[in-house]
Amino acid sequence: MTEQTARRAEERGDNEIRTPPGASGGHSLARSDATAPTLKSPADLVAAGLLAPAAAPALAAVASRYSVAVTPDIAALIDRADPRDPIARQFLPDPRELDTRAEELADPIGDGPFSPMEGLVHRYPDRVLLKLLSVCPVYCRFCFRRESVGHGKGGALSDEALSRALAYIAARPAIFEVILTGGDPLALSARRLRAVAERLREMEHVALLRIHTRAPTASPDLASPDRLAALTASGKAVYMALHVNHARELTPRAREAIARIQEAGVTTLAQTVLLRGVNDDADTLERLMRALASLRVKPYYLHHPDLAPGTSHFRVSIDEGRALYAELARRVSGVASPAYVLDIPGGYGKVPLQPPHLERSPDGGWLVRDRAGRAHAYPGESADEMAQRAVAD
Residues annotated as catalytic are 123-124, 127, 136, 140, 143, 145, 306, 343, 350
Contact 63, 41 (CB under 8 A): yes
> Closest separation between CB of residue 186 and ligand SF4, Å?
10
* C-alpha span between 154 and 7 (Å, rounded): 7
Strands 339-343 and 298-303: what pairing?
parallel
What is the pattern of x (binds ligand SF4, CB under 6 A) and - over residues 299-338? ----------------------------------------
User: How many amino acids of this chain bind ligand SF4 (CB under 6 A)?
Assistant: 10
Return the number of other C-beta atoms located less than 10 Å from residue 217's C-beta: 29
Contact 328, 367 (CB under 8 A): no
> Closest separation between CB of residue 341 and ligand SF4, Å?
15
Nearer to ligand SF4, 219 or 224 (CB): 219
State yes or no: residue 184 binds ligand SF4 (CB under 6 A). Answer: yes
Q: Which of 121, 149, 318, 353 binds ligand SF4 (CB under 6 A)?
A: 149
Residues 368-387 that bind ligand SF4 (CB under 6 A): none
User: What is the DSSP track for 290-326?
Assistant: HHHHHTT-EEEEEEPPP--TT-GGGPPPHHHHHHHHH
Q: Strand, helix or coil at 106?
A: coil
Nearer to ligand SF4, 6 or 68 (CB): 68
> Closest separation between CB of residue 202 and ligand SF4, Å?
28
Nearer to ligand SF4, 39 or 143 (CB): 143
Order of strands across the sheet with 208-213?
120-124, 127-131, 177-181, 208-213, 237-243, 267-273, 298-303, 339-343, 350-352
Q: Cα angle vertex 45, ends 270, 18, to 5°?
A: 55
Nearer to ligand SF4, 251 or 357 (CB): 251
The two most distant CA atoms of the chain are separated, in Å, by 59
Nearer to ligand SF4, 108 or 299 (CB): 108
> Closest separation between CB of residue 204 and ligand SF4, Å?
30
Q: Strand, helix or coil at 343?
A: strand
Residues 117-146 that bind ligand SF4 (CB under 6 A): 136, 139-140, 143, 145
Strands 339-343 and 366-369: what pairing?
unpaired
Residues 209-248 that bind ligand SF4 (CB under 6 A): 214, 243
* Residues of this chain that bind ligand SF4 (CB under 6 A): 136, 139-140, 143, 145, 149, 183-184, 214, 243
